[in-house]
């Protein structure tokens, strides 16, 4: 079974596909609900650029979040991309943002912490009817994200 062990231990490679930069609205803090501390952040629009996809993020999406007691934020964002050719792509992007209490406090004050000072990763899923973009539905991606008070940027990397 050495071949199976080798396969399991193999590290996948990543290939940069595209990045999004989205403007977001202020945090709507719903407070403590039955599911946890709920927040909602509207996605106001943005841009998509990269070697495999370009276009814009349409207004109307949002990020529905749960803030855990330890400060970890579970994110579930849903939004629509319109490609440069006009095709629509539905995105559901789920992930975690983990930071120390100090970094969380700095972010709450509107500061942009240095890269690498916190963990913000996502696992997006895509849906589209456009044949030339159906590769999005057949691949696995990892998003590497950063958050500022009024925007978010995510680099999407295809797992090879």
The tens digit of pLDDT for each residue in 66-122 reads: 999 998 999 999 999 999 999 999 999 999 999 998 998 888 888 888 878 999 999
CA–CA separation, 109 and 107 (whole Å): 5
Residue 50 is classified by DSSP as S
pLDDT tens per residue across span 25-70:
999 999 999 999 999 999 999 999 999 999 999 999 999 999 999 9
pTM as predicted: 0.91
Q: Which CATH number fits domain 23-159: 3.30.230.10, 3.40.140.10, 2.40.160.20, 2.40.340.10?
A: 2.40.160.20
| Alpha-carbon distances of 64 from 19, 23, 43, 60, rounded to whole Å | 21, 15, 11, 13
What's the pLDDT score for residue 107? 85
Strand residues in 5-60 grouped as ranges (E): 14-33, 36-49, 55-57
Region of 156 on the Ramachandran plot (φ > 0 left; ψ -120 to 50 alpha; else beta): beta
């Amino acid at each position: 079974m050495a071949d199976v062990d080798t396969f399991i231990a193999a590290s996948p490679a990543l290939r940069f596909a595209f990045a999004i930069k989205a403007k977001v609205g202020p945090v709507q803090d719903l407070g403590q609900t039955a599911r946890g501390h709920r927040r909602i952040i509207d996605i106001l629009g943005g841009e998509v650029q990269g070697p495999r996809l370009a276009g814009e993020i349409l207004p109307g999406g949002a990020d529905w979040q749960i803030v855990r007691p330890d400060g970890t934020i579970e994110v579930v964002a849903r939004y629509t991309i319109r490609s440069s050719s006009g095709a629509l792509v539905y995105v559901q992007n789920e992930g975690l943002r983990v930071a120390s209490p100090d970094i969380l406090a700095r972010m709450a004050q509107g500061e942009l912490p240095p890269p690498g000072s916190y963990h913000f990763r996502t696992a997006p899923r895509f849906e589209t009817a456009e044949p030339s973009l159906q590769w999005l539905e057949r691949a696995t991606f990892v998003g590497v994200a950063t958050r500022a008070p009024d925007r978010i940027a995510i680099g999407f990397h295809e797992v090879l």
